[in-house]
C-alpha cells in the first residue's frame, strides 16, 4: 500500500502529496451462511442489515498475539480485538486459499464477509512496499488465475453475503502519479483489470466498493474531478454493475473521520484541499462522483485512525508510530453517504518493511514518524499491535 499525496503535477505539491475468543460466547456456527440464497440490494446500505464478520484468519493472528502478552489486563483487552470485523486480503493467487477456511469457519446469516481484491499486475506502482506477484502485462493471469477463481468460490457460496473492496490505491495512483514510468506502465492493466473485476464479481450475494484513496490524496481541489472521472470510467467500462455501491476511503489510512479543523488544516497548502477530514472527502468526492455518473456511497477504514497528530506530512503512509485502533465497524456513521466505518487493514499487519536492504524497502517506511523495526507488508508486528491496542480510541 502506498498513499500518494496531492497531484505531482500541481505546483503546490510540497506536502502533497481466527478460533473463538475466550472472552466471547460464540453463536452456533452455520457453515453455509444462511439457509437460503442471499440477495444484496446495492441501492441500499447493506451494513444496516449485516455486520462485518470477524474472520477466522485475523482471529488466529490476534489469538497468537494474545498468547504473547504477559500483562493480564492488556491480554484481555487484546482478546477483544479478535471479535472485531475485519476484511480478509486476497493479496496473492495463493492467498485465495484463505477464503474456503474462512467460510468453513462459519459466517452467521446476519454477518457479511469482507474481502479485499488486491493483485493487479504492476501493483503499488508509486511505491515499493506492496509490489505484487504479477508483472505488468500479466493481465490474463490476473483474470483467469485470480479474479475467475474468486468468482467461482463466491458463486459456490450463494448463501453467504460478501462485501468487496476493489484494488486499493490502483486508480488513485493513475490520477496523481502518472509522471512515474511504473504507473504509466501499469495504467492500462489497472483500468482493464479493475473493470474486469467489477464486471465478473457482480453477483447477487456481493456488494462492491471501489477504492478512492483518501482526502489527502484525491481530495485536493485539482484532483476531485479527474479522480471521480477515472473511477466512473472503470464503473462504466464494467457495464455499470448492479451490485456496485460506491467507494472505500482511508484504506490502511490514518485520517480522522470528522476532526475539525482537520489534522493538516494549518499547512501552507491547506487552502488547496477542502477535504481536510474523511467526512469532507466523502461529501465532496461523492458530489464529484455523482456528476461523473457513478454510485457514490462510501465505507471508511477506521481501523487505525484512533490517534491524530502523529504524521509529519499527510502523505506519510507507512506504519505510523504512535497510532491507535479507531472506531469499531458500524453503520452508525451519522452521515447518509457514509454506509459504514469498517476495519479494512488488519491492525497489527505491517505496511512495509523497515529493512533498508530488502527488495521491497520503501523510504517512507524509514521516515522519522514510521515505526521500526517493521516486517514486510502484511506480516504481523507484535509490538505494533500492542501499541495500537494501548492507544485505541475508543479504548478496548
Ligand atoms: C500488503 C498485503 C497485505 C495487506 C493487509 C498490504 O499492504 O501488501 O500483502 O495482505 O497490506 O495487511
Could you tell me if 306 and 326 are in contact, meaning their C-beta atoms sit under 8 angstroms apart? yes
Q: Do the annotations mark residue 349 as ligand-binding?
A: yes
Q: How much of the chain, in percent, has pLDDT values that exceed 90?
A: 91
124 catalytically annotated: yes
Listed in order, strand segments (DSSP E) in 223-296 are 244-249
Which of 377, 381, 385, 388 should be mutated for ligand 1, with most atoms under 8 A from CB?
A: 377
Residue nearest to atom 8 of ligand 1 (CA): 130
351 catalytically annotated: yes
pLDDT tens, 163-215? 999 999 999 999 999 999 999 999 999 999 999 999 999 999 999 999 999 99
Atom of ligand 1 nearest to the CA of 92: 9
pLDDT tens, 274-304? 999 999 999 999 999 999 999 999 999 999 9
Distance CA 369, CA 321 (A): 6
pLDDT tens, 14-64? 333 344 444 444 444 445 578 999 999 999 999 999 999 999 999 999 999
> How many C-beta neighbours within 10 Å does residue 28 have?
6
For residue 377 and ligand 1, the question of a CB distance below 6 A is answered with yes
Distance CA 126, CA 98 (A): 27
| Res 373: pLDDT | 98
Catalytic residue among 105, 119, 124, 211: 124
Tell me the mean pLDDT in the region 308-337: 97
The whole-angstrom distance between residue 358's C-alpha and the CA centroid of its chain comes to 24
| Res 33: pLDDT | 73
How many angstroms separate the alpha carbon of residue 1 from the centre of ligand 1? 7
How many angstroms separate the alpha carbon of residue 41 from the centre of ligand 1? 29
The C-alpha cell 485505541 sits at: 392
| Res 1: pLDDT | 61
Task: Give yes or no for a cis peptide into 234 (omega within 30° of 0).
Answer: no
pLDDT tens, 351-382? 999 999 999 999 999 999 999 999 999 999 99
Atom of ligand 1 nearest to the CA of 124: 8
Could you tell me if 115 and 165 are in contact, meaning their C-beta atoms sit under 8 angstroms apart? yes
Domains of the chain (ranges plus CATH)?
A: 5-18+39-390 (3.20.20.40)
Task: List the beta bridge partners of residue 341.
Answer: 300, 330
Q: Do the annotations mark residue 89 as ligand-binding?
A: yes
| Res 169: pLDDT | 98
**Averaged pLDDT score across all residues of the chain:** 93
| Res 2: pLDDT | 55
Name the pTM for this structure.
0.93
| Res 22: pLDDT | 45
DSSP state of 319: S
Instruction: Kindly indicate the confidence band of residue 12, based on its pLDDT and cuts at 50, 70 and 90.
Output: very low
Q: What are the C-alpha distances in Å from 146 to residues 94, 182, 201, 206?
A: 9, 22, 12, 17
Amino acid at each position: 500500500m502506498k498513499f500518494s499525496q496531492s497531484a505531482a503535477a500541481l505546483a503546490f505539491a510540497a506536502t502533497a502529496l481466527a478460533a473463538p475468543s475466550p472472552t466471547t460466547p460464540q453463536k452456533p456456527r452455520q457453515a453455509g451462511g444462511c439457509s437460503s440464497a442471499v440477495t444484496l440490494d446495492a441501492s441500499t446500505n447493506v451494513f444496516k442489515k449485516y455486520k462485518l464478520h470477524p474472520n477466522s484468519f485475523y482471529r488466529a493472528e490476534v489469538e497468537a498475539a494474545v498468547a504473547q502478552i504477559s500483562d493480564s489486563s492488556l491480554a484481555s483487552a487484546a482478546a477483544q480485538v479478535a471479535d472485531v470485523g475485519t476484511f480478509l486480503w486476497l493479496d496473492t493467487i495463493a492467498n485465495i486459499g484463505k477464503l474456503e477456511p474462512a467460510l468453513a469457519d462459519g459466517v452467521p446469516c446476519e454477518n457479511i464477509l469482507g474481502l479485499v481484491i488486491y493483485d493487479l499486475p504492476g501493483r503499488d506502482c508509486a511505491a515499493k512496499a506492496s509490489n505484487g506477484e504479477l508483472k505488468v502485462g500479466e493481465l490474463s493471469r490476473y483474470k483467469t488465475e485470480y479474479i475467475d477463481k474468486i468468482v467461482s468460490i463466491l458463486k459456490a457460496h450463494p448463501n453467504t453475503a460478501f462485501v468487496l473492496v476493489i484494488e486499493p490505491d490502483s486508480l488513485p495512483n493513475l490520477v496523481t502519479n502518472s509522471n512515474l514510468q511504473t504507473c504509466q506502465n501499469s495504467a492500462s492493466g489497472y483500468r482493464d483489470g479493475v473493470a474486469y473485476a467489477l464486471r465478473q464479481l457482480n453477483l447477487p450475494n456481493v456488494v462492491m466498493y471501489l477504492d478512492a484513496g483518501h482526502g489527502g490524496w484525491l481530495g485536493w481541489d485539482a484532483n476531485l474531478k479527474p479522480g471521480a472521472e477515472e473511477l466512473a470510467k472503470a464503473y462504466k467500462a464494467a457495464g455499470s454493475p448492479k451490485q456496485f455501491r460506491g467507494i472505500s476511503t482511508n484504506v490502511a489510512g490514518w485520517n480522522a473521520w470528522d476532526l475539525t479543523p482537520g489534522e493538516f488544516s494549518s499547512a501552507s497548502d491547506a487552502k488547496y484541499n477542502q477535504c481536510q477530514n474523511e467526512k469532507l472527502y466523502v461529501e465532496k468526492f461523492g458530489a464529484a462522483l455523482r456528476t461523473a455518473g457513478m454510485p457514490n456511497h462510501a465505507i471508511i477504514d477506521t481501523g487505525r485512525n484512533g490517534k491524530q497528530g502523529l504524521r509529519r506530512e499527510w502523505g506519510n503512509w507507512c506504519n505510523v508510530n504512535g497510532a491507535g485502533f479507531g472506531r469499531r465497524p458500524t453503520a452508525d456513521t451519522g452521515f447518509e453517504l457514509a454506509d459504514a466505518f469498517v476495519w479494512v487493514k488488519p491492525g497489527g499487519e505491517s505496511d512495509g518493511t523497515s529493512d533498508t536492504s530488502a527488495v521491497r524497502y520503501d523510504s517512507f517506511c524509514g521516515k522519522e514518524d514510521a515505526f521500526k523495526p517493521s516486517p514486510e507488508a502484511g506480516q504481523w508486528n507484535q509490538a505494533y499491535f500492542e501499541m495500537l491496542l494501548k492507544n485505541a480510541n475508543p479504548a478496548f
